[in-house]
């Protein structure tokens, strides 16, 4: 089977990691896999791809310039179907279809709730807002729409954006290679515990946030909560892995709270196996989500998580008291309290890992393949 994927970038982000995990699984199954991106600026993921996966740069800086390069690609390869990550790219392809310039079946994987995103972003221009909302309305034109979780699927149906006949709910997959690498690193750390590495049974104090440092993720609330955590667990340390337009404000707040010796800003990292191996608790303070990969990957590694119960996604990942804790949205005190509890709790990593079975990449790749075959036979 020839599988063509369109995604804007291969930088830091959950969608990019989902793309890599699926592409590698399909390549292992001897499918011919192609990934098209606008460009490879800020790329942190292509080194993880199977060598059999082909990467194509459209050679443009922004999505607004992508129509003609996408048209050339589709004319050249003539795919029967394409999997598109994000509404915006799908809208461009849909317009090309309506102009009868191409004939291809489109499967779109929906990202965040656009209406929530626009409410939270203060710097979105009216033109962009109009475009993004129009993008949602064109979901009805797609052959299939993939929602990352059940709540997202219900939201799309209730809004009248997608009919149930076209909607498929498919969870995000976790990379088997990542989980194996983390297990090995942690095993090696236990063997080397005499040399200063943290061993099982020692006090846990390493908290990690992974994601964009932007309004959606609410990093300022994260720092407020961490200040409370430090008051109860003075040895606690917070590692922030990622970058974004609130980075400077976040650093300023850390300075103001006198937490500079307790908060580590890593920026964007490629060695996510080491990030998880050096983590005791993964935390998420988002105002809204799609299906947060950092939580899925964490539980797959046997790491407990603490997350706001935001719309949408965390409630379908976090099993309260089993693999972590869910906290009422924007309750900073409770976020801190549950983080301290997560650090003090003796978790069974095997039980935590068992809660990740529904995110197995093999089953998820199978679900997508069913859609691909349906498109081919339509």
Residue 175, number of CB atoms within 10 A of its CB: 24
Confidence of residue 319 (pLDDT cuts 50, 70, 90): very high
- Provide mean pLDDT across the span 78-102: 93
Residue 290: predicted pLDDT? 86
In CATH, what class is 2-173+360-377?
alpha beta
> Which carries the bigger pLDDT value, residue 128 or residue 173?
173
Token pair listed for 312? 């949408």
What residue segments make up the domains of the chain, in order of their start?
2-173+360-377, 176-358
* Residue 199 banded pLDDT, cuts 50, 70, 90: very low
pLDDT of residue 200: 44
The whole-number pLDDT of residue 118 equals: 41
78 pLDDT band, cuts 50/70/90, is very high
Sign (positive/negative) of CA torsion 181, 183, 185, 191?
negative
Cis status of the peptide bond prior to 361, with omega within 30 of 0: no
Is 176-358 a CATH 3.90.600.10 domain? no
Torsion of CA 210, 288, 20, 6, to 10 degrees: -140
What angle, 0 to 180 degrees and rounded to 10, lies between the N-to-C axes of helices 126-137 and 87-98? 70
- 304 neighbors 342 (Cβ within 8 angstroms): yes
Q: pLDDT of 39-57, one tens digit each?
A: 999 898 999 999 999 999 9
103-139: buried (b, 16+ CB within 10 Å) or exposed (e) per residue?
ebbbbbbbbbbbebbeebeeeeeeeeeebbeebbebb
**What mean pLDDT, rounded, does the chain reach?**
91
The model carries a pTM of 0.87
- Cα dihedral 372, 314, 14, 118 in deg (nearest 10): 100
Check if the beta carbon of residue 305 is closer than 8 Å to that of residue 298.
yes
- Whether 2-173+360-377 shares its CATH topology with 176-358 is answered yes
pLDDT reading at 122 higher than 50: no
Does residue 279 or residue 87 have the better pLDDT?
279
């Amino acid at each position: 089977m020839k599988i063509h994927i369109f995604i804007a970038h291969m930088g830091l982000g959950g969608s990019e990691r989902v793309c890599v995990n699926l592409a590698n699984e399909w390549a292992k199954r001897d499918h011919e896999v192609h990934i098209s991106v606008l460009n490879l600026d800020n790329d942190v993921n292509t080194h993880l791809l199977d060598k059999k996966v082909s990467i194509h740069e459209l050679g443009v800086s922004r999505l607004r310039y992508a129509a003609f390069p996408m048209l050339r690609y589709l004319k050249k390869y003539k795919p029967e179907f394409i999997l598109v990550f994000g509404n915006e790219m799908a809208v461009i392809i849909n317009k090309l279809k309506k102009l009868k310039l191409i004939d291809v079946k489109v499967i779109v994987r929906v990202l965040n709730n656009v209406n929530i995103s626009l409410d939270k972003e203060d710097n979105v221009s009216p033109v962009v807002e109009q475009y993004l909302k129009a993008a949602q309305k064109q979901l009805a034109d797609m052959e299939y729409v993939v929602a990352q979780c059940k709540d997202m699927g219900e939201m799309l149906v209730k809004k009248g954006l997608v009919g149930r006949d076209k909607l498929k709910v498919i969870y995000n997959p976790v990379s088997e290679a990542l989980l194996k690498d983390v297990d090995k690193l942690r095993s090696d750390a236990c063997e080397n515990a005499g040399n200063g590495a943290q061993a099982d049974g020692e006090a846990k104090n390493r908290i990690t946030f992974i994601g964009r440092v932007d309004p959606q993720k609410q990093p300022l609330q994260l720092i407020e909560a961490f200040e409370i955590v430090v008051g109860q667990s003075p040895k606690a340390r917070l590692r922030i892995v990622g970058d974004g337009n609130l980075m400077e404000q976040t650093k300023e707040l850390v300075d103001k709270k006198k937490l500079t010796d307790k908060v580590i800003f890593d920026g964007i990292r490629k060695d996510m196996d080491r990030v998880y191996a050096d983590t005791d608790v993964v935390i998420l303070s988002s105002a809204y989500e799609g299906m947060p990969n950092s939580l899925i990957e964490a539980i797959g590694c046997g790491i407990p998580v603490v997350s706001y119960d935001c719309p949408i996604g965390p409630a379908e990942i976090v099993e309260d008291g089993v693999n972590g804790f869910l906290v009422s949205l924007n309750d900073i005190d409770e976020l801190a309290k549950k983080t301290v509890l997560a650090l003090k709790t003796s978790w069974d990593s095997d039980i935590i890992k068992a809660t990740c079975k529904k995110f197995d990449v093999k089953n998820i790749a199978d679900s997508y393949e069913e859609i691909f075959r349906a498109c081919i036979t339509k």
